[in-house]
């Protein structure tokens, strides 16, 4: 799976709508401290379904919404869209939006979907919010310190079988 384009609006420091094309090959994000490099990586993890506010460096998920500055009012929502292309050449646009007091909603190519559908989409492509393909600051130390069960989860993601677990859990609940 390739990422083609990232769009952000009201997400953390990206208060104004921003669009970044992601070219094939290696992409580097450079800039001074505090300019938003980690926020960009977090936006990608968030649109892929990240459910832990702590791993987004917040205390609640609404902390991803632009909080305002001395000269700018806070935003009422945050929205991130990721255009992906799968190995078969299909383009799919994943959007996640959060509104204050209303929680998160997902869209796949413009249609409302469940968080679970997004998890399956990325699990089947052997990537996802917790995929070892995304290495955040401090993550290397976390891999070393991981408990065996956590390390197994990383290996399963890498092996591309975590989609099976999501489906099994789903089936067991029915």
13 near Mg ion, rule: CB under 5 A: no
CB of residue 78 vs ligand ATP: minimum separation in angstroms?
8
Nearer to Mg ion, 53 or 115 (CB): 53
CB of residue 12 vs ligand ATP: minimum separation in angstroms?
4
Q: Which residues contact 151 (CB under 8 A, 6 or more apart)?
A: 143
Site mask, Mg ion, residues 22-41, x = CB under 5 A? ---------------xx---
Token pair 């070219």 in the structure block, residue = 23
Angle at 135 between CA 102 and CA 30, to 5 degrees: 90
63 binds, among ligand ATP, Mg ion, none (CB under 5 to 8 A by kind): ligand ATP
Distance CA 94, CA 96 (A): 7
Nearer to ligand ATP, 70 or 159 (CB): 70
Q: Is 32 annotated as a binding residue?
A: yes
CB of residue 39 vs ligand ATP: minimum separation in angstroms?
4
For the beta carbon of residue 106, count every other beta carbon within 10 angstroms. 20
Q: In 3-state terms, what secondary structure has residue 107?
A: strand
> Applying CB under 6 A, which residues contact ligand ATP?
12-13, 31, 33-39, 63, 65-67
55 near Mg ion, rule: CB under 5 A: no
For the beta carbon of residue 20, count every other beta carbon within 10 angstroms. 15
CB of residue 38 vs Mg ion: minimum separation in angstroms?
3
* DSSP 8-state class, residue 40: H
């Amino acid at each position: 799976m390739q990422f083609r384009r990232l769009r952000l609006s009201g997400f953390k420091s990206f208060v104004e709508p921003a669009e970044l094309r992601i070219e094939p090959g290696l992409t580097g994000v450079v800039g001074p401290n505090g300019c938003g490099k980690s926020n960009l990586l977090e936006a990608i993890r968030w649109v892929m379904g990240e459910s832990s506010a702590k791993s987004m460096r917040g205390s609640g998920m609404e902390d991803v919404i632009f909080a305002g500055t001395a000269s700018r009012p806070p935003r009422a929502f945050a929205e991130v869209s990721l255009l992906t292309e799968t190995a078969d050449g299909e383009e799919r646009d994943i959007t996640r939006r959060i509104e204050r007091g209303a929680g998160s909603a997902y869209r796949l190519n413009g249609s409302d979907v469940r968080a679970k559908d997004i998890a399956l989409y990325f699990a089947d492509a052997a990537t996802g919010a917790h995929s070892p393909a995304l290495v955040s600051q401090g993550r290397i130390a976390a891999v070393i310190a991981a408990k065996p069960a956590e390390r197994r989860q990383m290996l399963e993601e890498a092996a591309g079988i975590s989609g099976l677990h999501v489906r099994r859990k789903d089936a067991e609940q029915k």
